[in-house]
Chain A
Amino acid sequence: MHEEWSHTLLQSDPMRFYRAKRDRLHQAVTSKYTILGFISSGTYGRVYKAQSLEPDGQIHAIKKFKPDKEGDVVTYTGISQSAIREIALNREMSHENVVALKEVILEDKSIYMVFEYAEHDFLQVIHHYSQTLRIQIASQVLKSLIYQLLNGLVYLHSAHILHRDLKPANILITASGVVKIGDLGLARLIYQPLQPLFAGDKVVVTIWYRAPELLLGAKHYNKAVDCWAIGCVFAELASLRPIFKGDEAKLDSKKNVPFQRDQLLKIFEVLGTPTEKDWSGLKDMPEYQNMKRLDTYPNRLAEWCQTRIRSQQGYDLIRQLFAYDPDKRLTAKEALAHKWFQEDLRPTRNVFFPVSAHHLPPQRRITQDEAPSMMGMPAPTQAQTLSQVPLGHGQAQGQHLSQQSQLNLSQQSKPGSTASFGSVSGGAVGSFSGGQGGSARKKPRIG
């Protein structure tokens, strides 16, 4: 009877009715959330501050993955490995010190990840102390920040998840002073891997936070790379500047990973040149010969810590997090049990507990979206108010921010062309100022 046309339809557009049904049932992002403003942008997309239209009116950060474009036409090209990872891991996780994913909305060729909102992040706190307050972070606050960070990392590691991109911009703090590890875009499950870790991503961890075994070309690495990064974050909170601020050698045209000479030197200057006594596997590292050609340095960490950490136990903790041999490096669990945390003054649940109100870091700045096509414009009145926020502040720290946020996978970019999308936070106030380079958005992702 009607078989011919139905047969034709089954051949030409077999999923037509399925699509129609699904589209009919879909609840649009804008029907569930009001977009309050734009927070930051990066390689993978943009982050917005949004308010739920449910009665609770909760505030959220919505991470919108950038849709792929062919010319001006937005097309489906497949969800990136990074987005799949971040979604898959976040859907399983639940811990006070890890940013919670509320939901994922797939709409109109874009992915929206709705996270709990965090008012601050480590990078912003560092900037606040170094630029505005011009004082050190009180040691109790420092201790609380590191304690909660380690607590979150113990959870991730016990679930066999490597974060692989821990850095200040990716570590958030809620208004009530709870630390939340964010951005699992590079994170990976290491339980019974079907592929070696190296196979997927040739380069992991932002250069300043990258562990020596990675810098020396190790193909196999483990949770210890996250613990090294925590050591770096610890040092940065204590001194308000990155402890190993090296220049990254870029991938060559054949995408070979170069020897990271400068970054290693920056580490050696503080920790001394590693020897086989420190690290028995050292001579087996692929870059060992290159390393031997570098000048040698003595270990000056104790001296470095004297003015900055001001606690023997604190020094001991950082020393052990900076063990060259990954097998001797403190694990997150061991670090959490370190005596420093049992020493007075003890860590607090609200990391800002000892901080007087006028010393609290400012609220996260939101602005009008510079690319309104990415999401529905905020209401006109709001847009007006927002557009009056001066942008100069962001420029001042542009250099620092963009350096920090060079995503390790974006090897072909020039330094400073990327803003952090590191996290929901994206790295603090005004970090979008670094993201204007069109080149930043076209970078291929390796793996």
Chain B
Amino acid sequence: MATDFWASSHYKRWIVDRGTLKESRSDDLQYVDDPEYLDFFAIFFANVITKLGKKLNFRQRVIATAIVFFRRFYIKNSYCETDPFIVIAACCYVAGKAEESPVHIKNMVAEARLFFSQQPYGVKYFPSDNSKLAEMEFYLVADLECDLTVFHPYRTLLSICKKESSNDLQTEAGEVGVGVDDGPRYWGSGDGQLELPDDAFQLAWSIVNDTYRSDLCLLYPPHLLAITALYLAVVLHGPTRELLQQQSHSVEATPVHSSPRRSSRQSSSTSLGHAKKPSQDFVAFFADLNISMPLVATIAQEIISLYTLWERYLEDSDLVDSARGTFYGHASAQTQSGGSHSGVSTPVESLDDAQKPHGATPTFLLQVLTRMRENKLSDMAHASSGRPVAVNKMLERTQAAG
């Protein structure tokens, strides 16, 4: 089971297509002003879970499982009909148990209450009664169809790059199984290994962390996300990219370019500690994998659009384990991204008026959510009159578009 992804509940029941995802948001789309806000929700709530998870001393994998539970829950439910904060607490509570890192329900309630009551959330109503969380756990587990074993890309990353627990990745050093013999790769792609410098590997790891800010974990098998993250890391990590370029240049036999590059590589490689090693042919490595490269390219596109969206999401630009910085540096050729991120404290109103908002802050998103939920509630309360009180935003948008 742990080795057989293809026989897993994850593969059999929880990889969905875009159509299903769209369908699952149909109710929310009726209540949201701009569909894009729902994409911001995906980032926002993943951040909330990550931060709460850190408060609970969760490892990255536990946090990732909690986020997957959250996403799976919202395949079946809508934001406007639920309270995401209690759902988040339940997801963390169940993920802790499912990943053998249990948190006592009292601590869970206390941490969640304290954390959610702070800014920017200001949720004062989170129940102090343990049984409320336990009740939500019940509904959550039922909505998850009791499928509590989740596969993550981290394992593929580790097995492809053969990083042992001895490495210095401070964030996830303990994540590697100790003394556990590795089975064959469940997606059966031979046994080649990618030799990446540690910081390129760390970049791939951060990209994987970032994919949880979107629905990618519902759309694609984890090993494809891992390979895409590696692919992006190879392309985006400076020294590694240079290696890659060298390789392609040497194929074209253009010695003119290679000599200045080599010198630049030497200067950077001393710190990377792989100076002596003959460089690996990355292109050949990816080509040899038994997976669809066009699919990897598609996923890469989706990851890049996530970063594009995320750039307009204004919250803590100092997230440590994210690869955002790398992407802004390359994608939008900005040397400093700090300028655009200082708007965290911008009054929400300024975003909401005449000029179409280009970004979103947590406070703004919370207001959007509250409005959606209040409107949905009014509609349900007045359902008998048959006339919706709230305007169907989807209809409104369609009409506006003519």
Contacts and interface: CB of A to CB of B under 8 A. Distances in A.
Contact of B139 (A22, A104, A193, A194): A22
B217 to A, nearest CB: 18
A81 B102 contact: yes
A193 B82 contact: no
Interface stretch (B34-42, B143-151, B230-238, B241-249): B143-151
Contact of B389 (A1, A12, A77, A158): A1
Contact of B174 (A78, A93, A191, A194): A194
Interface in A21-40: 21-22
B373 interface: yes
Nearest to A87: B146
B262 interface: no
B9 A200 contact: no
A78 B7 CA distance: 29
A355 B191 CA distance: 49
A92 interface: yes
Given A79-B137, A191-B180, A222-B179, A87 B100 contact: no
B93 interface: yes
B86 A15 contact: yes
Given A18-B77, A194-B61, A92 B102 contact: no
B374 A6 contact: yes
Given A94-B7, A191-B177, A2 B381 contact: yes
Contact of A76 (B3, B135, B177, B381): B135
Contact of A84 (B2, B83, B97, B381): B97
A352 to B, nearest CB: 29
B105 interface: yes
A161 interface: yes
Interface string A150-173: 000000001111000000000000
A78 B148 contact: no
A222 B177 CA distance: 13
A76 B134 contact: yes
A328 B398 CA distance: 71
A444 interface: no
B90 to A, nearest CB: 10
A251 interface: no
Contacts of B93: 78
Contact of B9 (A14, A91, A109): A91
Interface string B12-37: 00000000000000000000000000
Contacts of A220: 179
B169 interface: no
A190 B177 CA distance: 8
- Do most interface residues of chain A lie in helix, strand or loop, or is the interface mixed? mixed
A10 B370 CA distance: 9
Contacts of A12: 125
B259 interface: no
A10 B9 contact: no
A222 B139 CA distance: 35
B82 A15 contact: yes
Contacts of A222: 179
A193 B100 contact: yes
B83 A6 contact: no
Contact of B59 (A92, A189, A194, A200): A194
A160 B298 CA distance: 33
A132 interface: no
B149 A88 contact: yes
B307 to A, nearest CB: 28
A76 B100 contact: no
B183 interface: yes
Interface in B220-269: none
Interface string B106-143: 00000000000000000011000011011111110111
Interface centre among A9, A15, A81, A87 (most CB of B within 10 A): A15
Contact of A106 (B3, B105, B138, B180): B138
A270 interface: no
A446 B183 CA distance: 32
Given A11-B125, A17-B380, A89 B83 contact: no
A17 B100 contact: no
A192 B102 contact: no
Interface string B61-85: 1100000000000000100011101
B89 to A, nearest CB: 12
A192 B125 contact: no
A9 B101 contact: no
A191 B3 contact: yes
B48 interface: no
B8 interface: yes
Contacts of B147: 88, 91
Interface of B: 1-4, 7-9, 59, 61-62, 77, 81-83, 85-86, 93-94, 97-102, 105, 124-125, 130-131, 133-139, 141-143, 145-149, 155, 174-180, 183, 370, 373-374, 377-378, 380-381, 389
8 closest A-B pairs by CB: A76-B134, A14-B83, A192-B177, A159-B1, A88-B148, A191-B2, A92-B1, A11-B125
Interface of A: 1-3, 6-7, 9-12, 14-15, 17-19, 21-22, 75-79, 81, 84, 87-89, 91-94, 104, 106, 109, 158-161, 188-195, 200, 220, 222
Given A10-B83, A77-B130, 10 more contacts: A1-B389, A15-B139, A78-B133, A87-B148, A88-B148, A89-B1, A106-B138, A159-B3, A194-B59, A194-B61
16 contacts: A3-B374, A6-B377, A10-B373, A75-B131, A76-B130, A76-B131, A76-B135, A84-B148, A106-B139, A159-B4, A160-B1, A192-B155, A192-B180, A194-B100, A194-B174, A220-B179
